[in-house]
């Protein structure tokens, strides 16, 4: 849903933040992200997720994505929509002390 309002494919959020939003353990988010990366749908590093294949990612999601997307659009129709994916390079990864940087 976050990408629906952005003009690029980069999400700046940590797996810990995602786990808190979803109310699940961070390890579950890490496992899911690793599976999506293995499928070639995303790449990720500390605090940065890049969607590589949006169409295939949506196809891999459950049907609830489309239901929630349509309802969000119905209720929040006045908010700006995603216009076009711009070729914007992702922000640089920041190495935090004691944490490895992946991809």
Quick check: is 17 in a domain? Answer: yes
Q: How many domains does the chain have?
A: 1
Instruction: Give the pLDDT band (50/70/90) at residue 60.
Output: confident
Quick check: is 58 in a domain? Answer: yes
pLDDT at site 39: 95
Quick check: is 14 in a domain? Answer: yes
Identify the CATH number of the domain in which residue 8 sits. Answer: 1.10.10.10
Alpha carbon distance 47, 103 (integer Å)? 11
pLDDT at site 101: 55
pLDDT at 81 > cutoff 70: no
Identify each DSSP E strand in the chain by its residue range.
Answer: 10-11, 42-45, 48-51
Quick check: is 18 in a domain? Answer: yes
Provide the domain limits for residue 46: 2-75
Angle separating helix axes 15-22 and 26-38, nearest 10 degrees: 120
Quick check: is 65 in a domain? Answer: yes
């Amino acid at each position: 849903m976050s990408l629906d309002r952005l003009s690029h494919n980069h999400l700046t959020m940590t797996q810990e933040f995602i786990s808190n939003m979803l109310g699940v353990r961070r390890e579950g988010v890490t496992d899911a992200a690793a599976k999506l990366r293995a499928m070639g749908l995303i790449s990720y590093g500390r605090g940065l997720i890049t969607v590589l294949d949006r169409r295939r990612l949506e196809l891999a999601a459950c049907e609830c994505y489309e239901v929630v997307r349509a309802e969000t659009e119905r209720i929040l129709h006045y908010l700006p929509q995603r216009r076009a994916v711009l070729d914007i390079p992702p922000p640089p990864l920041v190495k935090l002390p004691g944490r490895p940087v992946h991809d």
